[in-house]
Amino acid sequence: MAKETVETLIEGGKASAAPPLGPALGPLGVNIGQVVTEINKKTGDFKGMKVPVKVTVDTETKDFEIKIGTPPASALIKKEAGIAKASGRPTVDFVADLKIEQIIKVANMKADSLLGKDNFSRVKEICGTCRAMGIMVEGKIADETIKDINEGAHKAKIESGKTELSDEELKALEEEKKKMEEELASKRKKFEAKAKDIMAQMANKATSIIRKKMVEDKIPEVIINEICPADDAGKK
């Protein structure tokens, strides 16, 4: 039984008979329309993202099997949160807040590669990833949401696999994200001013001493590196 495999990247939900998929499948004699329909069905949740697709065709029977790769959970979480990057200080600075429905959606999309054996375990696993990224879940630090789940919270939604949000919920999440962005910008501005003040007060000190003072004052490392680079010439 001879088999041929075609591997390519497809934007979620947008497979077509056009290149690169159509020309690669054509010589194999498979029903391209059926393959395209199946791929779009399987990748619909990945709209706006490129996902690896593997189509294995039995060249005798023309039967086919489709396997869909998935982006990392962190990439899916960022897409749901509408953010470009995770927090640099995930236990202090929070960059987004997701609803449990969004966590369930990511858990479903990554089900095959997660360690959890049931929906509850997989949802908690995604919550753990959110914790490491500085993303809240249901308005709480992810650890607290995991505790709530253990105590029975969100049970009906997790069991049913609910992933849809109302327009009102989506609007509220967007407003909360903007508020978080404003809070982070305000924090950054204060840290930058404090770092510059330390630089001015310790102008004649070695860079290592200045940086140590900034660390003691709990200024984020990224700002320390911007204001007082470790390799600042003449201040070793």
Nearest CA to 131 among 86, 163, 161?
86
Tell me which of 40-49, 154-163, 170-179 is least confident: 40-49
Mean pLDDT of 9-37: 92
Residue range(s) in the chain whose domain bears CATH number 3.30.1550.10 = 3-68
- For the stretch 90-145, pLDDT in tens is 988 999 999 999 999 999 988 878 999 899 999 999 999 999 999 999 999 999 99
pLDDT band at 1 (very low <50, low <70, confident <90, very high): low
Q: State yes or no: pLDDT of 87 exceeds 50.
A: yes
Q: What percent of the chain has pLDDT over 70?
A: 97
Mean pLDDT of 20-26: 92
Residue range(s) in the chain whose domain bears CATH number 1.10.10.250 = 73-165
Q: Which CATH number is correct for 3-68, 3.40.50.10700, 3.20.20.70, 3.30.565.10, 3.30.1550.10?
A: 3.30.1550.10
Q: Which fold has domain 73-165?
A: Arc Repressor Mutant, subunit A (1.10.10)
